[in-house]
Amino acid sequence: MSQTLQMYDPKREYNSHKESIDIAINNVLNHGLFINGPEVRELEASLKEYVGVSDCICVSNGTDAIKIALLALDVRNGDEVITVAHSWISTAEVIPLVGATPVFVDIDKETYNLDSSKLEAAITSKTKAIIAVSLYGQMADFDAINAVAKKYSIPVIEDGAQSFGATYNGKRSCSVTTIGTTSFFPSKPLGCYGDGGACFTNDLELGAKMRAIKNHGGIKRFHHKYIGLNARLDTIQAAILNVKLSYFDQTIEKRQACAAYYSEHLVCLTEKGFQLPVVKNNCTSVWAQYSILANNKEQRDNIVNYLKNNNVNAAIFYPTPLHKQECFQPWLNDTIEHVDSRLVVTNDICDRVFNLPCYGEFTREEQDIIIRLLKEFVRSN
């Protein structure tokens, strides 16, 4: 039986850059500065330049990055934070964690990102922040989102966990909002070998505050100005990321080539009502995955099962919208029926989306297997 194709295999990239990564890890093992070592400062300087912002704060993971952003913006009990319900749980779970209420807004049916035309209606006197996710590798419509936010003087956080390296009007993800956050989870476009994340900002005061919050709120030794966290990035992870950042442009190009190959060979599916990914003219995507919409839930589930039965572990990101997750029920700002009725596109996408592996080391032969299976399925169903 052939080997199962997974959504991501971190060993492949490691094997092709093993020598430089081993050296970087060994350097840390030898100097022993496992926390706050020089590699973390080096990474922050490089990431800051890469993204094009004034400050970068490396943190423990992408979830903590959003939590730190909310804490730095003084979001607390009684506040509302607007976000989307089609995302990984992290985007919204941090909102109740700081005591605030998540207010879910619907998404765009082409990009699956926050529908900026629905944003203004969700703003109330309690709105303290907006978290817009740049899902599947493409940035949200930040000109429109920022324009509404500016009108009401509300800060915007970009959750760029899946879009690091992507551009919007030529500007990089994590550079266009009050705070940008990302994740270096292994399967992310820029992934480390454990957990990692970062916050970005052009506001130096906010940057200093986030830097303190990630380190127990301390501004100098034994002086804790803020209630903070232990949320630092390990030096070994920083060392790995320094190496991976040095060839990140090629990583992105390879991901884009992988996506282009799917789009070229799966275009026939659109005649059968499937929707392939849409990348807006002013955007580039880093293809966290390759996402397809089936015609309905039953067809989507059958396809994913068919792929699984043929040794392809396709994924469904995300089968349940966040507003329907049990943990958010006590936190909804309205009855579940009302919230649900406003999230028509979100519900529809969660029912129909499925995701294919899309990364640099995924081979054309492997893609051909998936393409053949999808065509086979469509022909015989």
Ligand X SMILES: Cc1ncc(COP(=O)(O)O)c(C=O)c1O
Binding mask 149-168 for ligand X (x = CB under 6 A): ----------x-xx------
CB nearer ligand X, residue 162 or residue 215: 162
Q: Please, which residues have CB within 8 angstroms of residue 217's CB and are 6 or more apart in sequence?
A: 224, 225, 226, 227, 228
Span between the terminal Cα atoms of the chain, in Å: 25
Note whether 256 and 285 are within 8 A (CB).
Answer: yes
CB nearer ligand X, residue 59 or residue 307: 59
290-293/283-284 β-pairing: unpaired
State in angstroms the smallest separation of the CB of 325 from ligand X: 14
Beta bridge partners of 157: 131, 179
CB nearer ligand X, residue 228 or residue 269: 228
Specify the stretch interacting with ligand X by CB under 6 A; choose among 7-15, 82-90, 213-221, 308-316.
82-90
How far is residue 314's CA from residue 13's CA, in Å, rounded to a whole number? 20
- Using CA atoms, how far residue 82 sits from 96, 131, 158, 320, in Å, is 12, 6, 12, 19
Specify the stretch interacting with ligand X by CB under 6 A; choose among 40-48, 88-96, 121-129, 365-373.
88-96
CB nearer ligand X, residue 61 or residue 146: 61
How far is residue 179's CA from residue 271's CA, in Å, rounded to a whole number? 41
Q: Is 233 in the site for ligand X (CB under 6 A)?
A: no
- Using CA atoms, how far residue 66 sits from 132, 171, 258, in Å, is 11, 21, 30
State in angstroms the smallest separation of the CB of 195 from ligand X: 6
How far is residue 358's CA from residue 135's CA, in Å, rounded to a whole number? 14
What is the distance of C-alpha 263 from the center of its chain?
Answer: 22
**DSSP character string of 67-81:** HHHHHHTT--TT-EE
State in angstroms the smallest separation of the CB of 184 from ligand X: 7
Specify the stretch interacting with ligand X by CB under 6 A; choose among 21-29, 57-65, 72-80, 165-173.
57-65
Specify the stretch interacting with ligand X by CB under 6 A; choose among 59-67, 257-265, 274-282, 305-313.
59-67
Note whether 106 and 345 are within 8 A (CB).
Answer: yes
Phi, psi of 190 (to 5 degrees): -110, 100
Q: Is 377 in the site for ligand X (CB under 6 A)?
A: no
Question: What count of residues does the chain have?
Answer: 381
- Binding-site member from 48, 59, 86, 90 for ligand X (CB under 6 A): 90
Specify the stretch interacting with ligand X by CB under 6 A; choose among 84-92, 101-109, 205-213, 265-273.
84-92
127-133/80-84 β-pairing: parallel
Q: Is 91 in the site for ligand X (CB under 6 A)?
A: yes
- Binding-site member from 180, 191, 197, 321 for ligand X (CB under 6 A): 197
- Binding-site member from 83, 87, 177, 178 for ligand X (CB under 6 A): 87
State in angstroms the smallest separation of the CB of 159 from ligand X: 5
Which tokens sit at 9? 């295999």
Count how many Cα atoms sit within 13 Å of the Cα of residue 248 in the half-sphere of its side chain: 22
H or E segment and range at residue 297: helix 297-309
7: number of Cβ within 10 Å: 18
H or E segment and range at residue 159: strand 156-159
Binding mask 112-151 for ligand X (x = CB under 6 A): ---------------------x------------------
State in angstroms the smallest separation of the CB of 196 from ligand X: 7
- Binding-site member from 25, 37, 62, 128 for ligand X (CB under 6 A): 62
Number of residues lying near ligand X (CB under 6 A): 15
What is the signed CA dihedral for 188, 192, 196, 197, rounded to 10 degrees?
A: -50
By beta carbon distance, the residue nearest ligand X is 62
- Binding-site member from 8, 50, 88, 287 for ligand X (CB under 6 A): 88
- Binding-site member from 63, 83, 167, 346 for ligand X (CB under 6 A): 63
- Binding-site member from 185, 290, 318, 328 for ligand X (CB under 6 A): 185
Residue numbers at the binding site for ligand X (CB under 6 A)? 61-63, 87-88, 90-91, 133, 159, 161-162, 183, 185, 195, 197
